[in-house]
Structure 1
Amino acid sequence: MSSLIFIILQSAVIAYALVSGVFLAFSDFIMRSLAEAGGVRTMQAINREVFRWVFMTLFIGMAPVSLAIAAYGAFVVGGGAGSLLALAGLVYFVGCFGVTVFFNVPMNDALAGLDASSAAVGTYWEETYLPRWTFWNTIRTIASTASSALLLSGLLAMT
């Protein structure tokens, strides 16, 4: 394995862990805090601001990197270590990126289109958005954490 690939894989372990940490914060305490504070407007602002931050670059950038890691593990490394690398990439791509695209983003878009001061928004916020968004966010947390652990294990198995 070249030094460049080794550095990329090590960086991906850190990137997966950083993404996981952001998701963990939301599932662990941010969403509960927003629920207590009636945070529809705050969540709408968070959903707008996330596109202007390092997190989005890291999160989206890891999608193609994850596919490359999966292919590298499956077709170049092979064996047990290669399987761990391939699984790490696929778990992130499906369980983190895919869940975001198919579940969290549509809920964010729906929330963005609502008037935060209307009574109907409160019902949607409490009964639909908070429990569903947090559930899928927790799946993203687990997936990105698992990807970090699997990739680290694969790297250790290779060395």
Structure 2
Amino acid sequence: MATIYHLPFVLKLVTALGCGLVAGVFFAFSTFVMNALARLQPQQGIIAMQSINITAINPFFMTALFGTAAACLLLAIASLSKGYQPSDIYLLIGACSYLVGTVLVTIAFNVPLNEALATVKPDSTESANLWASYLTNWTFWNHIRTVAALVAAAAFTLALSS
């Protein structure tokens, strides 16, 4: 039976798992999904990515991405509001890495790229140029998100043992 004393451990564990789950999703995109889409004709790649971007907005992925962000925020606030504990540095590193490198990068870079892609007609003359630029830029920022979420997962895992 969990008690109030187990809640910090459980929150750290759930946050570490959430960061790892999100890192895994982004890793898949960075290592093979975007490469597969790049092998398609631009019109086909655009249509596929437009569909992915629509279906990614679902309760499961949004909870993983933003629920983990909320847990990171809670852990960061908790670590700053009490006396210093050895694991606090890991909590702060994990929270900052995830909130800045994953969530902020998503909002500032990947989402605007997705919104621009959503408005393009896949069979238009300018779509091929947009697609080439999109593939490069979106994948670059996705690499950043992947590393940031992985660093956060590692930091929260270290916080569990200290």
Q: TM-score normalized by structure 1?
A: 0.93
- Structure 1 unaligned residues grouped into runs of 5+: none
Offset at residue 52 of structure 1 (A): 2.0
Aligned-partner Cα distance in 2 for 1:8–1:81: 13
- Whole-Å Cα distance in 2 between the matches of residues 43 and 77 of structure 1? 47
Distance 1:23 1:67 in 2: 21
Unpaired runs of 5+ residues, structure 2, are: none
Tell me whether 1:103 sits opposite 2:90 in the alignment: no
For 1:9, the aligned partner's letter is K
Greater mean alpha carbon deviation, residues 50-59 or residues 115-124: 50-59
CA distance in 2, matches of 1:11, 1:113: 37
128, 131, 137: which is aligned to 1:132?
Answer: 137
8 Å contact from structure 1 (residues 74, 83) kept in 2: no
Select the structure with the greater relative contact order (CA < 8 A; seq sep ≥ 6).
2
- Please tell me the residue identity of whatever aligns with 2:158: S
- Residue aligning to 2:50: 44
- The aligned counterpart of 2:159 is 154
RMSD between superposed Cα atoms in Å: 1.3
Q: Secondary structure at the match of 2:50?
A: helix
Query: Following TM superposition, by how much is the alpha carbon of 1:26 offset from its aligned partner in structure 2, in angstroms?
Result: 0.3
Mapping for residues 7-22 of structure 1, pairs under 5 Å: 7-22=10-25
Match of 2:127 among 102, 107, 121: 121
User: Aligned AA for 1:96?
Assistant: T
Q: Distance in 1 between matches of 2:154 and 2:58?
A: 28
Between the aligned partners of 2:26 and 2:82, the Cα distance in structure 1 is: 31
Question: Which position in structure 2 is the counterpart of 1:64?
Answer: 70
Q: Output one character per residue of 1:54-103: Cα deviation in whole Å (capped at 9) or x when no partner.
A: 11221011222211111222333624310111111111001000000000
8 Å CA contact 2:16, 2:154 repeated in 1 = yes
Quote the residue 1:141 is aligned against: 146
SS in 2 for 1:37: coil
Tell me the distance in 2 between the aligned counterparts of 1:64 and 1:7.
14
Q: 1:7-63, CA deviations, whole angstroms, 9 ceiling, x for partnerless residues?
A: 111111111100000000000010010000131100000000011251122101122
